[in-house]
Structure 1
Amino acid sequence: MIKNIEIKIFLISIIIMTGISLIFENIFYKNFQNQFLLFLIPLIWPGLAHGSLDIQIAQRAKIITNNRELSVFLCLYIFLAFIFFLFWQRYPEFSFAIFLLLSIYHFGESDSTLALKKNLSFLEIFARGSLIIGIPTIIYFNDVSTIFKYLNISENFSEIIYFLSIIMISLSIFLILIIIRKITNFKNIKNSFLFEIFLITFCFIYFEPLIAFSIYFCFLHSIRHLLREQKYFRITFAELFYKTIPITLLTFIFLISIFIFLDLNTIDFKYLSLTFISLSCLTVPHMILVNRVKKINVLK
């Protein structure tokens, strides 16, 4: 029996998307634009919305205690995202490498569910994060390299990521076996962990990279983070939803303005990739904040 609601939602989303991908294969197969549009709403909520309460989290974690610190926090948050964006334009491959490393750690840390000792917790963090990046890079290398190309990443650098992904996945399998051995006496925990790893693996093997990541990001990673925020702030899910609306709405208006001024039927996908780079840069301070507050036992 599946106890965690985010796992149930993730499973249901996989089942629904399997049906959609089979019925509408001619619409979504190898079509990045249609795949992006399919997930536009869930990418906004719960996707982007899961980072909309960063200010409240920083306040609760005593990182922000007054208006002056709030101003400094906002300036640093925006400045870091802006500087990373400029750095990406000048040094795309180096910036992308940093972004991937941050993503591996962030996804692994945020989605870790096992209460392992500190010296063992990195095993789960690395294993989880590597699956998200490594599997699609290996299974769908041509698709991934095409996406990378839109992000100003060269083919040679894509091949380097491919070979590193093989190493990461090999290590992940080994680490997962170690983790299973460590929790073998905790049957329910072990079964839940294995089932989630199976779902993540299936998702990134069966679906094309953009669809797989959107399913994972929206319906597992973001939902899990929002549920932790609900518990952290001790509020109902409805109250949590309303709290996320202001920042999420601003993001939604920003995206809508792009689609109003750009004709998606005539422009190159590179304009959407610029939007992706911008949003990716905005997640950098979010990832740093979340990893910071988890280290001080917040959002566990």
Structure 2
Amino acid sequence: MSALRLKALPPETLGFAAAAAAAALVLGLAPTALPFAVQVGLLAVAVVVLGLPHGALDAWIARRAGLFERPLGWIGFNLGYVALALAVVGAWWLFPITALVLFLMISAWHFAGDWQDALMPWQRMIAAAALLGMPAVFYQAEVASIFVVLSGPGAEVAAEGLRSVGLVALGALVPVLLMTAMKRQWTVLIELGMLVLLAVFAPPLVYFVIYFCLLHSPRHLRATIALAPAGERRSLIAQALVYTLATLVLAALVAALLLPSGDLSGIALKTLFIGLAALTVPHMLLMLWTERKQANVPA
């Protein structure tokens, strides 16, 4: 690919590809595996700094889409958002394995949107299934251990199921990659190809950090900011910061109340992933509502 075409790629594609290649090289040559506590620490910092802000603009998106206009509507929106998030936390507390499986399914639908403008629906679902399933193919024991931390001993079954999904999706991804190459869809080809490379060499948490924080979140955040008038973008950044800090405070309170004391890495991992699940549901519902509303608006 020429240097000119590389410059035309989205910035998140270039950043993600560079980070994935570097991680694959370093981890492939490393004499020992990266300690689990270090992986969790890396996940925590990256999700807080780079991951959470992409959903912190949901109130602005809702107002722009006409979901509310007045301050009272803003209060109602935030209360409803928090109520949905807490309902997800409660469901995970009562039905941890079912909640884990549903979260994986919701995540597949949500992450498939990263290629909404480039791939057909069936191609997007293959890409999302491969994205989620590949770590279980190459690091089955590690994924099973993470699932046990999140949802208890019975969660090994979910890891086995995810591995099966990953194997099928990985095979189905080959023709998708060939079709993107034939159509010269370089952005999609690079992203999916680097995801496969990363899944082979990076442990699951590192894989998730690089994908979620360097590709998915920046893409969504850049698209949202691009919708705002130039004079409003600085206030959007401040709003993202305020909502991110508020989310961290709420997550810390919920973790302190609901999670038992014990291994710090396990508590942090559980807080992060259950917190992401709790935020993903209202975020996904808002995105679905705005997409349908836009689809019904005449050109």
TM class, shorter-length: 0.7 to 0.9
Matches within 5 A, 1:71-220: 71-109=75-113, 111-115=114-118, 121-155=120-154, 157-171=155-169, 173-174=171-172, 177=175, 180-181=178-179, 186-187=183-184, 189=185, 191-220=186-215
Question: 1:64–1:73: 8 Å Cα contact kept in structure 2?
Answer: yes
CA-CA distance at 1:10 after TM superposition: 0.4
Gaps of 5+ in 2: 257-261
Instruction: State TM-score, norm by structure 1.
Output: 0.81
Structure 1 residues 200 and 67 mapped into 2: Cα distance closer, same or farther (>3 Å)? Answer: same
1:180 Cα offset (Å): 4.9
- Secondary structure of the residue aligned to 2:151 is coil
**Contact (CA 8 Å) 1:130, 1:169: kept in 2 or not?**
no
* Aligned-partner Cα distance in 2 for 1:81–1:45: 20
Q: Which residue of 1 aligns with 2:282?
A: 285
Per-residue deviation at 1:94?
Answer: 1.0
Give the deviation of 1:103 after TM superposition: 0.5
CA contact (8 A) 2:135 2:199 kept: yes
CA shift, 1:67, in A, is 3.0
Q: CA separation in 1, counterparts of 2:255 and 2:41?
A: 11
- Superposed CA deviations along residues 99-145 of structure 1, whole A, max 9, x for unmatched, are 11100100112x014345xxxx3213312211221101111110001
What is the aligned-residue RMSD (CA, Å)?
3.1
Whole-angstrom distance in 1 between the partners of 2:22 and 2:45: 16
Alignment: residue pair count = 282
Q: Which amino acid aligns with 2:16?
A: F
Provide the C-alpha distance between the structure 1 equivalents of 2:222 and 2:254, rounded to a whole number of angstroms: 30
Alignment correspondent of 2:259: none
Change in Cα spacing, 1:226 to 1:286, as seen in structure 2 (3 Å) is same
- SS at 1:162's partner residue? helix
- Letter of the aligned partner of 2:172 in structure 1? F
Whole-angstrom distance in 1 between the partners of 2:37 and 2:135:
18
Q: Is the 8 A contact 1:93 1:153 kept in 2?
A: yes
Counterpart contact for 1:130–1:165, Cα < 8 Å: no
User: For residues 22-74 of structure 1, what are the alpha-carbon distances to aligned partners after superposition, in whole Å with 9 as ceiling and x for unaligned?
Assistant: 78765xx2522211212433211220111100000011111223333323322
TM-score normalized with structure 2 length: 0.81
Deviates more, 1:90-99 or 1:207-216: 90-99
Shift of 1:167: 3.7
Distance 1:128 1:185, change over 3 A: closer
Task: State the shift of 1:12 in Å.
Answer: 2.2
Trace 1:36-51 onto structure 2 (pairs within 5 A). Answer: 36-51=40-55
Gaps of at least 5 residues in structure 1 are: 261-265
Q: Distance in 2 between matches of 1:103 and 1:195?
A: 21
Q: CA deviation at 1:16?
A: 4.1
**Which residue number in structure 2 is paired with residue 9 of structure 1?**
15
User: Percent same amino acid among aligned pairs?
Assistant: 24
| CA-CA distance at 1:168 after TM superposition | 4.9
Tell me: CA distance 1:164–1:74, structure 2 relative to 1, closer, same or farther (3 Å). same
Shift in alpha-carbon separation, 1:18–1:160, aligned structure 2, 3 A: closer
- Asked if the contact 2:13–2:187 (Cα under 8 Å) also holds between the matched residues in 1, the reply is no
Deviation at 1:278, TM superposition (A): 3.1
Distance apart, 1:87 and its partner CA: 1.3
Shift of 1:250: 3.0
Quick check: 2:134–2:170 contact (8 Å CA) kept in 1?
no
**CA distance in structure 2 between the partners assigned to 1:144 and 1:87 by the alignment:** 22
Determine helix, strand or coil for the equivalent of 2:230. coil
Cα displacement (A) at 1:243: 3.5
Which digits, 9 at most, give the CA deviation of each residue in 1:2-35, with x for residues without a partner? 3111101102222443466478765xx2522211
Is residue 242 of structure 2 the alignment partner of residue 272 of structure 1? no
